[in-house]
């Protein structure tokens, strides 16, 4: 399963392998950016959250769909990948859009099983698992912090996005969802 996001902050890895809890969290969050050319009236990217990547079409609470996703992942041993097609090397206006050839190479590698290894590192802020190598993608592209010229600015933006995730997730506060929220806040 691939979750696509266009991160205008330029801080999410271009590909991350998600565990069950992370997949449920990112599914419920539905983070992306509205970008010019795909959204009417948008001239600069705006971050947005749309539960389950389709909030307007959900008859049930998003936690129901996230629970179902988690159950199916466990039952069928499914890999879930977060794919960032957004910016790298800086936020919108400074960084560059992720090359389509790199995105294709990462998806191909995931589908072919080329990323089914233990050569990952954990992202410092988001606790996402980042592959250390992916065929046909420069290794430094895989770690977004290495694409920024200023590390301090990178981490400021990363924590800004992590805080936006935490703020967004407050809407799901319920006894059942609260446990998932607390676990994921440890990951941001």
Q: What are phi and psi of 100, to 5 degrees?
A: -60, -35
- Whose tokens are 């954990």? That residue is 122
Tell me the pTM.
0.85
Question: Could you read off the pLDDT of 111-142 as tens digits, one per residue?
Answer: 999 998 879 999 999 999 999 999 999 999 99
Query: Which class is domain 2-185?
Result: alpha beta
Hey, where are the domains in the chain?
A: 2-185
> Do the Cβ atoms of 87 and 21 come closer than 8 Å?
no
The answer on pLDDT for 24 being more than 70 is yes
Neighbour count for residue 158 (Cβ, 10 Å) = 22
- Whose tokens are 């929220």? That residue is 181
């Amino acid at each position: 399963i691939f979750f696509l996001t266009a991160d205008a902050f330029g801080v999410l890895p271009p590909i991350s392998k998600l565990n069950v809890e992370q997949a449920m969290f990112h599914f419920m969050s539905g983070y992306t950016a509205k970008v010019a050319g795909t959204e009417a009236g948008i001239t600069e990217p705006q971050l947005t959250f749309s539960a389950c990547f389709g909030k307007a079409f959900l008859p049930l609470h998003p936690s129901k769909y996230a629970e179902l996703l988690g159950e199916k992942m466990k039952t069928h041993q499914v890999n879930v990948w977060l794919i960032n097609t957004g910016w790298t090397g800086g936020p919108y206006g400074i960084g560059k859009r992720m090359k389509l050839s790199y995105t294709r190479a990462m998806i191909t590698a995931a589908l072919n099983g080329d990323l089914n290894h233990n050569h990952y590192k954990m992202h410092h802020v988001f606790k996402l698992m980042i592959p250390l190598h992916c065929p046909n993608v420069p290794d430094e592209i895989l770690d977004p912090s290495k694409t920024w010229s200023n590390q301090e600015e990178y981490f400021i933006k990363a924590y800004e996005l992590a805080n936006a995730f935490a703020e967004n997730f407050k809407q799901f506060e319920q006894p059942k969802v609260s446990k998932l929220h607390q676990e994921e806040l440890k990951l941001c």
